[in-house]
């Protein structure tokens, strides 16, 4: 098996390339390696196209790109699973990326929908098999919910099949005369590659191959209606900003099946704790006398108060670790709570306090000499 090339090298972009630069580079290479534009080297073009598509799939996804930047190909191979990169999955996930570009959008659609069946012309989608779109939502979670995991009931508005017309969009169908019932028509476009034949969705029937005598009034001929749906999801402990869950077949309805529901997570800023990976950090002020003499105090945790011991001679900035009181790991176990002890110097003293400190100064206890900071 040939070693994979660097994804940035494949697309010809720098490691700091923006999302738009990556998209522009992919658009250019996708046209260049279109198999119909290279009829003499169709198999090679197909492999080249697959290579640039895999690179785009990784670098256009912030999470995959981060994994790739940190761990290389091994970092993203686990995301693809044992079957590796799949063009069908790629088209399904990216089919809306180029909707604003009519020329490339058509090329992109036709190319991927018939990627494994190229002949002299591209294949067209059969709307009867078209899968419904994905739904993307974002939910905000508290640190407490992230730490232990939580069940959430979410409500989405999604397309369902129209009951009146059974999802067909009309009644009394007859064969479309424009495409002879095929659902697609062949168009010829010219470019510097020469003439390219493409099979495209019939504009008269929308690709169904049928024309209805009467459109369904309930759904206005679309075959589907939006309805609310409540879904309960179980969110595991340890998720982070930008992580997401894909719930298969919970998206919009389509004649070929449902799309997916993609739930992205956003972490709410906590008023007391800061998060560092799966650990949490909190600053706890202590008195000078407690730091010097030692003792015990109660400190806050995500699960209530907990008593900890303070060693005599504790310095300001010292860290006390409470094991297992942090964020739950995705693969089991938990992080820790790091209590940073801050020795509080009072700005106002009573007369008796001043006398006590003056007596301490008389003892002239040894202070360490200046030292180089540990950066």
Q: What is the CATH number for 317?
A: 2.60.260.20
Question: What pLDDT is recorded for position 232?
Answer: 95
Closest alpha carbon to 182 in 168, 197, 202:
202
DSSP strand pairing (244-247 vs 261-267): antiparallel
Whether 52 maps to a domain, the answer reads yes
Whether 124 maps to a domain, the answer reads no
Question: What pLDDT is recorded for position 153?
Answer: 96
Query: At CA 248, angle to CA 49 and CA 219, rounded to 5?
Result: 95
CA 130 centroid distance within chain = 24
Question: What pLDDT is recorded for position 227?
Answer: 96
* Burial class of residue 345, CB neighbours in 10 A (0-12, 13-18, 19+): exposed
Domain that holds residue 331: 274-362
Domain boundary among 75, 91, 118: 118
Alpha-carbon gap, residue 163 to 223, rounded angstroms: 9
Question: What pLDDT is recorded for position 1?
Answer: 46
* pLDDT, one tens digit for every residue, the chain (375 residues): 457 889 999 999 999 999 999 988 988 888 788 766 666 777 788 888 889 988 998 999 888 888 888 878 877 776 665 556 777 667 766 665 655 444 444 455 545 444 443 333 344 445 556 788 899 999 999 999 999 999 999 999 999 999 999 998 889 989 888 888 888 888 776 654 455 667 788 888 877 788 888 989 999 888 999 999 999 999 999 998 888 888 999 999 988 889 999 999 999 999 999 999 899 999 999 998 899 899 999 999 999 999 999 999 999 999 999 999 999 987 778 999 999 999 998 888 888 888 887 877 777 667 778 778 876
Q: Which residues contact 337 (CB under 8 A, 6 or more apart)?
A: 273, 279, 280, 281, 282, 301, 302, 321, 322, 325, 326
Whether 188 maps to a domain, the answer reads no
Alpha-carbon gap, residue 135 to 277, rounded angstroms: 29
Domain count, the chain: 2
Whether 219 maps to a domain, the answer reads no
**Token digits for 124?**
């067209």
Kindly report the backbone phi and psi dihedral angles of residue 92, in degrees, each rounded to the nearest multiple of 5, phi listed first: -60, -40
Whether 298 maps to a domain, the answer reads yes
Question: What pLDDT is recorded for position 119?
Answer: 36
Whether 227 maps to a domain, the answer reads no
Cβ pair 123, 91 in contact under 8 A? no
Q: Does the reported pTM lie above 0.85? A: no
Question: What pLDDT is recorded for position 27?
Answer: 85
* Residue 277 DSSP code: T
Q: Which residues contact 361 (CB under 8 A, 6 or more apart)?
A: none
Domain boundary among 118, 138, 170: 118
Whether 267 maps to a domain, the answer reads no
Q: How many CA within 13 A on the CB side of residue 28?
A: 10
Alpha-carbon gap, residue 338 to 250, rounded angstroms: 40
Whether 93 maps to a domain, the answer reads yes
Question: What pLDDT is recorded for position 127?
Answer: 54
* 87-94 helix and 42-59 helix, angle to the nearest 10 degrees: 50
Domain boundary among 89, 118, 147: 118
Tell me, what CATH number does 73's domain have? Answer: 1.10.287.110
Query: At CA 20, angle to CA 277 and CA 113, rounded to 5?
Result: 100
Helix (H) or strand (E) holding 80: helix 73-80
């Amino acid at each position: 098996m040939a070693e994979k090339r660097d994804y940035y090298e494949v697309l010809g972009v720098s490691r700091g390339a923006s999302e738009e630069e990556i998209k522009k580079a992919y658009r250019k290479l996708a046209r260049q390696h279109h198999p119909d534009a290279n009829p003499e080297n169709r198999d090679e073009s197909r492999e080249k196209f697959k290579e640039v598509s895999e690179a785009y799939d990784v670098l256009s996804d912030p999470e995959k790109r981060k994994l790739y930047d940190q761990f290389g190909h091994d970092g993203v191979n686990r995301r693809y699973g044992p079957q590796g990169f799949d063009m069908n999955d790629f088209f399904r996930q990216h089919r809306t990326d180029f909707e604003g570009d009519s020329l490339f959008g058509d090329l992109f659609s036709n190319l991927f929908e018939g990627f494994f069946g190229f002949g002299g012309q591209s294949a067209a989608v059969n709307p009867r098999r078209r899968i419904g779109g994905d739904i993307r939502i974002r939910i905000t979670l508290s640190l407490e919910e992230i730490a232990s995991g939580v069940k959430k009931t979410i409500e989405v508005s999604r397309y369902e099949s129209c009951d009146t017309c059974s999802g067909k969009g009309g009644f009394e169908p007859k064969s479309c005369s424009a495409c002879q019932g095929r659902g697609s028509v062949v168009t010829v476009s010219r470019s510097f590659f020469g003439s390219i034949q493409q099979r495209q969705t019939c504009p008269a029937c929308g690709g169904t191959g049928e024309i209805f005598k009467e459109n369904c009034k309930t759904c206005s001929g679309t075959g589907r209606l939006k309805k609310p749906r409540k879904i309960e999801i179980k969110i595991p402990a340890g998720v982070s900003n930008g992580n997401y869950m894909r719930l298969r077949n919970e998206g919009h309805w389509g004649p070929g099946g449902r799309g997916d529901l993609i739930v992205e997570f956003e972490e709410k800023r906590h008023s007391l704790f800061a998060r560092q990976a799966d650990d949490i950090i909190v600053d706890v002020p202590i008195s000078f006398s407690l730091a010097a003499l030692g003792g015990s105090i109660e400190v806050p945790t995500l699960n209530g108060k907990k008593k900890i011991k303070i060693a005599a001679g504790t310095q300001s900035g010292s860290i006390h670790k409470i094991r297992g009181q942090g964020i739950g790991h995705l693969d089991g176990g938990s992080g820790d709570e790091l209590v940073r002890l801050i020795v509080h110097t009072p700005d106002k003293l009573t007369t008796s306090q001043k006398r006590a400190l003056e007596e301490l100064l008389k003892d002239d206890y040894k202070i360490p000499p200046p030292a180089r900071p540990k950066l």
